[in-house]
Amino acid sequence: MDLLHTVILTVHIIAGLSVIGLVLLQHGKGADMGAAFGSGASGSLFGATGSANFLSRATAVLVAVFFLTSLGLSYIATSRPRVSGSVMDSAPVPTAPAVPAQMPAVPDSKAKDIPK
């Protein structure tokens, strides 16, 4: 279960960072800064409107992966057996010191002075 948790968490982090990167690469409808990255050129790798379409689809797929890994991580976190009790239940129990079998005798001179 720990291996599955590690794999899902790794995919979750990569998907999250990729979504952030893809959103930052995209430009708004009125933004002219997108032309600086080549999205305004008609001779680009994806064509005149291909890059915007590709980036939006890739973002949608990564958002879906991020959503599914979020659900998977929440399921794994809640499906673990719960241990009830306190932290003190797992603490070591202190042992009492050994009591001698016979107590030493009290001198009689002091016992006579105590009023009855």
Predicted local distance difference test score (pLDDT) of residue 16: 96
Per the structure block, which two tokens stand in for 4?
A: 């599955």
User: What is the Cα–Cα distance from 35 to 39, expressed in whole angstroms?
Assistant: 5
* Contact status, residue 98 vs residue 34, Cβ threshold 8 Å: no
pLDDT band at 89 (very low <50, low <70, confident <90, very high): confident
109 or 3: which carries more pLDDT confidence? Answer: 3
Residue 3 backbone phi and psi in degrees, to 5 = -65, -45
pLDDT for residue 86 is more than 80: no
**Radius of gyration for the alpha carbons in the chain, expressed in angstroms and rounded:** 36
Q: What does pTM read for this prediction?
A: 0.55
Helix axes 2-25, 50-79, angle to 10 degrees: 150
Predicted local distance difference test score (pLDDT) of residue 45: 56
pLDDT for residue 42 is more than 80: no
Q: Which segment of 10-14, 52-56, 70-74, 109-113 scores lowest on mean pLDDT?
A: 109-113
